Amino acid sequence: MQNAETLSGIPVNKVANDFPTLTSTGVTYLDSAATSQTPRQVLDSMAKYYEHYRSTVHRGLYLIANEATKEYNYSHVVVAKLVGAEAVWDEDENDVESELIFSSGATQSLNLVAESFARTKIKPGDRIVITTMEHHSNLVPWQRIAAEKHAELRYVEFDDEGRLDLAQMEELMNDRTKVVAVAHTSNFLGTINDVKAIAGIVHKRDAYLVVDGAQGVPHIPTDVKSADCDFLAFSGHKMCGPTGIGGLYGKKELLQRMEPYEYGGDMILTVHRDQATWNHLPWKFEAGTPKIAEGIGFAAACRYLESFGMEEIRRHEEETTRYALKRLSEVPRLRIFGPLKAEERCGLISFVFGGKFGKDSYPHAHDVGDALGRRGICIRVGHHCAMVAHEELGISASARASFYLYNTKADVDRLADALLEFERSPPV
């Protein structure tokens, strides 16, 4: 174990002991933007469900079913609180009404908005505005809607440091613009976008703002009311929670007008031969037997993050990223993408080697990832589901290191030292 290290008040080495994978493997895990590690507190909450009150929810009148229903339903309240969404708990009914819907993750959440909301709003000749830094989950659904509805799809560009051109966004907005979709934080460039400022631009034209919060919610204090976004999507597995669970916030008046995305059990209020009516929020959009253990684990992950405070987590990552930018700048020929100031980006850094090794070949990102992986350093390589952004920069793939509350400056040193060694002895 390393010597104790504290960044922004978080005792990082002590925190790392909460994560079984880190303690059992000894790897330097720098891939949290893809999937974060899960602490024992979350695993224990899910095991408790399986071991002590395993049953389905919303129908059983026996003791353990009531317990499962209470824990699962109240999980919506806990997750909603983290992002500032409205959730009203009815203790007598053991039920909740919430603007926060559970989904399988940010991808399903964004598809739900595209299918249940945007499809009914978009008409031929209308305009959808997105950005060239979007993850495919917040790009491909809008491509399909635009193509099927014969609407325009227009892109906001980013500059040399990965900042969005908000002046261009204003120019692209017209009276036919219905939806603007943007990432809170780019999963490739690391750029933190000003959602509140973007919301102001969007709402001046009476359009709707859809935010991909997959990289923002786990790392940055989030308040959907203050930001004034219309929808916000995020994933549990990127914020210390289990896989297969995520959230969608939507303004209540919009969710109430929307038709369901999926149909089946529990999302209905009544069913007759010729018609059906829908349950109240959030159940209207949660068809079938839900992911009960995952929902309980999702809430436990939010409690875990809140035990440190999202402000402290953000400060920790900003310090880590600032140190990483400094250390990686020491590596010859390394090209870093995105803002060069830590306060303008989240805790990830994507990079390539820009100089040639040998006669006519660049060291591919996969070679970098393989070399680091052999040293027990876990990073991401590829296009990170952001092919448009990579094309804009003239590259096919990049390497990405990403940090979370359990990472230390020593982890950054291992990364930088390994890259320096790789630069001195590249693959043939």
DSSP 386-398: -HHHHHHHT-S-E
CA 345 to chain centre: 14
Q: Which of 422, 414, 419, 389 is nearest to 329 (CA)?
A: 419
Q: Which of 398, 361, 394 is nearest to 382 (CA)?
A: 398
> What beta strand segments (E) does 16-158 contain?
28-29, 87-90, 95-98, 100-103, 127-131, 152-156
- Whether the CB-CB separation of 328 and 338 falls below 8 Å is answered with no
Q: Which of 258, 254, 267, 248 is nearest to 120 (CA)?
A: 258
Cα–Cα distances (Å) from 197 to 164, 203, 303, 333, in that order, read 12, 10, 29, 36
- Per the structure block, which two tokens stand in for 329? 């700048």
List, in order, residues 6 or more apart from 68 with CB less than 8 Å away: 49, 53, 54, 55, 56, 57, 60, 292
DSSP 344-359: GB-SEEEEEE-S-BTT
Residue 412 Ramachandran class (φ > 0 left, ψ -120 to 50 alpha, else beta): alpha
User: Annotated active-site positions, please?
Assistant: 385
- Whether the CB-CB separation of 330 and 416 falls below 8 Å is answered with yes
- Whether the CB-CB separation of 45 and 300 falls below 8 Å is answered with yes
3-state helix, strand, coil in the chain (%, to 5): 40, 20, 40
Query: HSE on the CB side for 192, CA within 13 Å?
Result: 19
Query: HSE on the CB side for 143, CA within 13 Å?
Result: 10
